[in-house]
Amino acid sequence: MKKLTLLIALLLVSFLQAQTAQDSITFDPQKQINAAQRLLSGNYGKAVTVGAYGEITYNQPEAKNGELDVQRLVLLFGYKFNDKTQFVTELELEHVEEVFVEQAFVNYAIASNVSLRGGLMLVPMGIVNEFHEPTTFNGVERPAVDNVIIPTTWREIGVGVTGRFNDLSLGYQAYVFNGFKSTTSDGAGGLSGFLSGSSGLRGGRQKAIKSTIDSPTLSVKLDYYGLPGLRLGLAGYTGKTQAEDNIEELEGANIGIAMLGLDARYAYQRFTARGQFIYASLSDTEAYNIATNRPINQGLGSALQGWYIEGAYNLLPIEKQQRLFAFLRYEQYDTHADTAGSFVRNDAYNRTDITTGLSYHIAPGVVLKGDYQFRDNALSGDNVSDRLNFGIGVWF
pLDDT tens sequence for the chain (396 residues): 444 444 444 444 443 343 333 433 578 898 888 999 988 886 556 789 999 999 999 999 998 999 999 999 999 999 999 989 999 999 999 999 999 999 999 999 999 899 999 999 999 999 999 999 999 999 999 999 999 999 999 999 999 999 999 999 999 999 999 999 999 998 888 899 999 999 999 999 999 999 999 899 999 999 999 999 999 999 999 999 999 888 988 999 999 999 999 999 999 999 999 999 999 999 999 999 999 999 999 999 999 999 999 999 999 999 999 999 999 999 999 999 999 999 999 999 999 999 999 999 999 999 999 999 999 999 998 889 999 999 999 999
Per the CB < 8 A criterion, the answer to whether 392 and 360 are in contact is no
pLDDT of residue 189: 81
Per the CB < 8 A criterion, the answer to whether 49 and 20 are in contact is yes
The Cα 54–Cα 373 span in angstroms is: 22
Which is it for the CA torsion 25, 30, 31, 34, positive or negative? Answer: positive
Amino acid in position 100 = F
Burial class from Cβ neighbours inside 10 Å (0-12, 13-18, 19+) for residue 112 reads exposed
Establish if 248 belongs to a structural domain.
Answer: yes
pLDDT of residue 190: 86
Establish if 6 belongs to a structural domain.
Answer: no
Residue 131: closest CA among 220, 53, 48, 75? 53
- Going along 269-342, which residue ranges are E strands? 271-283, 303-314, 323-338
The Cα 77–Cα 89 span in angstroms is: 5
Residue 328: closest CA among 352, 307, 310, 351? 310
Residue 196: closest CA among 155, 255, 239? 255
Phi, psi of 294 (to 5 degrees): -80, 140
Establish if 58 belongs to a structural domain.
Answer: yes
The Cα 137–Cα 359 span in angstroms is: 9
CA angle 331, 145, 349 (to 5 degrees): 85
The Cα 74–Cα 94 span in angstroms is: 8
The model's pTM: 0.91
Residue 170: closest CA among 108, 107, 220, 116? 220
Establish if 157 belongs to a structural domain.
Answer: yes
Establish if 131 belongs to a structural domain.
Answer: yes
Domain of residue 122, CATH code: 2.40.160.10
Range of the domain at 149: 16-395
Domain count, the chain: 1
Burial class from Cβ neighbours inside 10 Å (0-12, 13-18, 19+) for residue 68 reads exposed
Establish if 44 belongs to a structural domain.
Answer: yes
Establish if 8 belongs to a structural domain.
Answer: no
Amino acid in position 75 = L
The Cα 110–Cα 162 span in angstroms is: 10
Residue 264: closest CA among 304, 303, 307? 307
The Cα 274–Cα 266 span in angstroms is: 6
pLDDT of residue 86: 95
Phi, psi of 348 (to 5 degrees): -65, -20
Residue 205: closest CA among 182, 176, 173, 174? 182
Establish if 238 belongs to a structural domain.
Answer: yes
Residue 216: closest CA among 242, 254, 249, 235? 242
